Amino acid sequence: MKMWTYIVRRLLAMIPVILGVTLLTFLLTRAQIGLWIASLLGRIRTPSARLAIIRQYHLNAPVYVQYFYYLEGLVTGHWGFTSGNDLVAGAYRPVLQVMIERFPNTVELAVLSVILVVIFSIPLGVISAVQRDKIPDHLSRLWAMISYSIPTFWFALLLLFAVSHYVSIFALTGSLSTSPVNYYLTSTGAYQPWVSHQGGLILGTKPTGLLLVDTLLYGDFPAFINGFEHIILPALIVALTNMGVIVRYLRSSMLDVMGQDYVRTARAKGVTEKIVINRHVKRNAYTSTVTIMGLLLAGLLGGVVIVEDIFAWPGIGYWLAQAAIVDDFASIMAGVFVFAIVVVIANLVVDILYAYLDPRVRLG
């Protein structure tokens, strides 16, 4: 099977998955239709307002017609309005607009977390495999088990409690606006050039929406350092509680490769152990580890709800946690939909990359 044929087949396989997710979220809202309508009404719960909601969302029509309009709204960007849980604005705004503003913050946290996972887990996994059944292997496996088992919320609160004795808690949580020094404004009181705002409402940063990237692009190093101080602790928590699975998977993959015939042949030819590990074992073991790393990144992009909520990081996870408290169905449905899209796309990218690295995948 050629590569392009494999990609087309994977793209076609995405369609029923996405439709299944949209159908599931649609049915869940209809199962609690009264609560969903109440969330859309907000504070104005008059009979006329309720009737307007019923007409707007075609709730008098058959269910399959309602589902068609629901799909139309997803495609055209009409995802509804927040129910007042948007802490940035403190008002009702289009869900899609809030999603666009907050998604880069989650991307930044997820990418930094994955970078830390790679930095910590790859060396531990290699050492554990090379030093099999020795003290370094036992210690690495012990830490992997702790990392895999430890509750994220407990570890986050414990670390926050320990560090806050030396550093102000406001310097560890939230966005730059919680800092004693307001880097959003210049000395003249005007907004920094990297700040995206609408009047007095700060919408994020520009041009990428990634705080650390944008502050570097504009050369605002104090703001970059301040932003890094806010993001490093939640990123470290996410990395430490997710690296265990990577360590164990990489160790297993390397041990499997080390038992292959071509590895034994290389050793029989007199190739040094260092070259065997670096040229033959690592490359093949890393190929299979790509799958887990891609799925990890996809899961983090969906919003690290607990960590973002504890550290008040203004990403999708924090926003959805607030939405769940106030029964904001429109935001929750949008979050589930975006999370599903991210996971499906990540699976596609991982499968294509894996097929490229190992042609046996697409030939099977």
Report the C-alpha gap between 203 and 209 in whole angstroms.
9
What is residue 174's predicted lDDT score, i.e. its pLDDT?
56
Which contacts (CB < 8 Å, 24+ apart) does range 219-227 have? 220/183, 220/192, 220/194, 222/181, 222/183, 223/176, 223/183, 223/192, 223/194, 226/176, 226/179, 226/181, 226/183, 227/176
Residue 345 maps to a domain: no
Residues 25, 153 within the same domain: no
Q: Which DSSP string do the residues of 226-273 spell out, in sequence order?
A: HHHHHHHHHHHHHHHTTHHHHHHHHHHHHHHHHTSHHHHHHHHTT--H
Residues 307, 171 within the same domain: yes
In contact, 307 and 150? CB cutoff 8 Å: no
Residue 259 maps to a domain: yes
Q: What is the 3-state secondary structure (H, E, C) of 185-224?
A: ECCCCCECCCEEEECCEEEEECCCCCHHHHHHHCCCHHHH
Whole-model pTM? 0.81
Residues 132, 56 within the same domain: no
Residue 344 maps to a domain: no
Residues 174, 31 within the same domain: no
Number of structural domains found in the chain: 2
**How wide is the angle at C-alpha 136 spanned by C-alphas 246 and 122, nearest 5°?**
25
Residues 127, 43 within the same domain: no
The first and second tokens of residue 198, run together, are 């609408």
Backbone angles phi, psi at 314, to 5 degrees: -75, 60
- Give the burial class of 80: count Cβ atoms within 10 A of its Cβ; 0-12 exposed, 13-18 middle, 19 or more buried: buried
What is residue 303's predicted lDDT score, i.e. its pLDDT?
63
101 contacts: CB under 8 Å, gap ≥ 6:
88, 203, 204, 209
Residues 169, 256 within the same domain: yes
What is residue 85's predicted lDDT score, i.e. its pLDDT?
52
Question: Residue 170 has what DSSP assignment?
Answer: G
Backbone angles phi, psi at 60, to 5 degrees: -85, -10
Domain of residue 244 covers 97-316
Residues 149, 63 within the same domain: no
Residue 359 maps to a domain: no
Chain Cα centroid distance, residue 342: 8
Residues 216, 284 within the same domain: yes
Residues 181, 33 within the same domain: no
Residue 330 maps to a domain: no
Which amino acid is present at 258?
M
Report the C-alpha gap between 317 and 314 in whole angstroms.
8
Residue 325 maps to a domain: no
Residues 60, 195 within the same domain: no
Domain termination site, one of 76, 111, 135: 76
Local structure of 39: helix, strand or coil: helix
Report the C-alpha gap between 323 and 3 in whole angstroms.
42
- CATH number for the domain including 101? 1.10.3720
Local structure of 83: helix, strand or coil: coil
Domain termination site, one of 316, 337, 358: 316
Report the C-alpha gap between 240 and 129 in whole angstroms.
20
Report the C-alpha gap between 203 and 101 in whole angstroms.
6
Task: Give CA separation, 281 vs 125, 142, 243, in Å.
Answer: 12, 23, 21
Report the C-alpha gap between 207 and 187 in whole angstroms.
22
Domain termination site, one of 16, 46, 76: 76
Residues 118, 181 within the same domain: yes
In contact, 25 and 341? CB cutoff 8 Å: no
Residues 120, 72 within the same domain: no
pLDDT by residue for the chain (364 residues), tens digit each? 577 777 788 888 888 888 888 888 888 777 777 767 766 665 666 777 778 777 877 778 888 888 888 888 888 887 877 765 554 444 567 888 888 888 888 888 888 988 998 898 888 888 888 888 889 888 888 888 888 788 888 888 888 777 766 665 555 555 554 443 456 777 677 788 888 877 766 777 888 888 888 888 988 888 888 888 888 888 888 888 888 888 888 888 888 888 888 888 888 888 787 888 877 787 777 777 777 787 788 778 766 788 888 888 888 888 888 888 777 777 888 888 888 888 888 888 877 777 776 666 555 5
